[in-house]
Structure 1
């Protein structure tokens, strides 16, 4: 009996040790994303599931709702450990320079921010009824356009009208963007402006029931916007026979130097390994390519750099 009790104790100890070892092997990551109703929150949830699947449960990502990128970056200065967040690269530059919303705040912690990988960009779409006969921005003069209110797309669209000398010639519809597709189909408006990852659901809906034209920007127009170039391939939307060259606001997943190199490596490797599977369920992941690394301004985490070196991804000297 004494021998049996001893064997039982040893077995219990082995099980307990195995449980501790498994717990120690599991890496937990917090991902600060966006508002719960946004597409970027959905992306975060998809990313979390991809990490769990791709690492056999060794990396567990907990998604937190955020009120926006400024909050995400602010928290980077105080959150410990494996904190990952999403933000446009330009906002990181402002934080590290102590400008804009970050004026007067210590920059030391912001200087510890490091990039991991790009995620789908906020891509501008100028969607016009085909029978409006508009094929370029000059053709918007005299047309009725719905911009919506308060969103990035609305603000960006209004900015572009000013940049291209159209502010006084375009009629703006007083309606919410949620009404854009219906208003386009029944002829109340000639077009609408929306921003989001592509393919955009409201553009898909509009193109499914109406012949539409999504405008491309010339090189000169793109330069005036001071945004990044995004090319939406032909065939993305119904009736789209050629590529759409438009502007976008890049969005990147970041960590800080508090994340160890191995965790950053595994996050980055698994992200790229799982991206095609994520794209099978949500088309917006298909728009992310290794060429988008060029839009990352500032330093990339050493763990991520290790993966990019192994995979031959293009990385600039100023990003190392």
Structure 2
């Protein structure tokens, strides 16, 4: 009788042990199915940093096998240089970047010290657009700025300085003798316009060119709320195209009438992507899963950042050619019917 009981206990123990092995095996398989991916974005407190944190949280809540860990970085120029300096990161790291800064990197133009390998698109998460505004009623077009002082962002700021200056010089043919460009910073540019030390200044915001939704940048909101009567100067589609042909990456876009009550007519201008990008070495399957994650949860980004409400599936690829998109991401976009 005792022998039979011992045999029964041994049988139960074996069964429990076997179940434990099965459970352990399932857990191990689950762990193996999960892919950890790093994301470096931009300085703490910026919109890009917030959107990177949003993507991390969404990846952890979603449970599709991709988990993203996000950290800040000094900025997009740093991100491109870091991937180049540390090749091991290319297989598992997403970086904050964009069309404008990537174009400078590929060409080896300042602030880059050499030509860098092109990155591939995962998704745009913002589209930035800027233009010039004035309080001088005699300045009605860009051509009227000859001999005037123009305040823009700092020299290294792509959307707020490099691209606007490229349109002025490559699009309109202005030289340094024709206009006085002051690189002061975005808030400082608006301040200079308001206190009369600049004749025109860079303003702008974020757009979804698919839905024509626009969200002004903080300093632009402050400027528009000043009670003054601004006049907004459109760049012109032809001039944007000339600047692009000269080597500055940007896409044509139109700021719709009514984006602000002071914008009474559509303005032909540009949009620059603010994007999550990867090296070509980034695995196709991981790129596919990350892109699919963003597409399936795109409505959640607005819960983290106001500009997240401007995200749209079509906007995720706006301004890019098919060959610029990572093959894994391209597969997700084709499945979603966004690309043939």
TM range (shorter): 0.7 to 0.9
Tell me if 1:219 matches 2:255. Answer: no
- Alignment match, 2:267: 244
**Aligned partner of 1:162 among 164, 169, 186:** 169
Return the alpha-carbon distance in structure 2 between the equivalents of residues 17 and 50 of structure 1.
Answer: 27
SS across alignment from 1:34:
coil
Distance 1:161 1:59 in 2: 44
Matches within 5 A, 1:80-119: 80-89=90-99, 101=112, 103=114, 110=117, 113-119=119-125
Q: Distance in 2 between matches of 1:267 and 1:239?
A: 40
Counterpart of 2:68 in 1: which secondary structure? Answer: strand
Q: Give the Cα–Cα distance (whole angstroms) in 1 for the partners of residues 261 and 55 of structure 2.
A: 28
Q: Which moved more, 1:87-96 or 1:268-277?
A: 87-96
Give the structure 2 partner of residue 318 of structure 1: none
| Structure 2 residues without counterparts, runs of 5 or longer | 1-5, 208-214, 245-249
* Aligned partner of 1:149 among 151, 154, 158: 154
| CA deviation vs aligned residue, 1:220-279 (integer Å, no higher than 9, x gap) | 221222132122333333433333321233344323454443322221122123333324
Is 1:69 the counterpart of 2:87? The answer is: no
Q: Is the 8 A contact 1:293 1:314 kept in 2?
A: no
> Offset of 1:67 from its aligned partner?
3.4
Report what 1:128 is aligned to: 134
Q: How far does residue 287 in structure 1 lie from its aligned partner after superposition?
A: 6.0
Specify the alignment match of 2:211 in structure 1.
none
CA separation in 2, counterparts of 1:270 and 1:241?
38
Distance 1:90 1:235, change over 3 A: closer
Matched, 1:58 2:82: no
Aligned-partner Cα distance in 2 for 1:252–1:218:
25
* Cα distance in 1, alignment partners of residues 74 and 41 from structure 2: 9
Any stretches of 5+ residues in structure 1 without a counterpart?
Answer: 316-320
Secondary structure of residue in 1 paired with 2:291: helix
Q: 1:191 aligns with which of 193, 200, 211?
A: 200
Q: Where do residues 287-298 of structure 1 align in structure 2 (5 Å cutoff)?
A: 290=314, 292-296=317-321, 298=323
TM-score computed with the length of structure 2 as normaliser: 0.72
Change (3 A) 1:145 1:115: closer
Whether the 8 Å contact between 2:167 and 2:240 is mirrored in structure 1 is no
Task: Return the offset for 1:305.
Answer: 2.0
The corresponding residue for 1:312 is: 337
Q: Are residue 177 (structure 1) and residue 175 (structure 2) matched?
A: no
Q: How many residue pairs get matched? A: 307
Confirm or deny: 8 A CA contact 1:127 1:203 kept in the other structure.
Answer: no
CA positional deviation for 1:137: 0.6
Aligned position for 2:3? none
What SS class does the counterpart of residue 56 from structure 2 fall into? helix
> Is the 8 Å Cα contact of residues 89 and 297 (structure 1) preserved in structure 2?
no
CA distance 1:116–1:19, change in 2 (3 Å): same
SS in 1 for 2:225: helix
1:138 aligns with 2:161: no
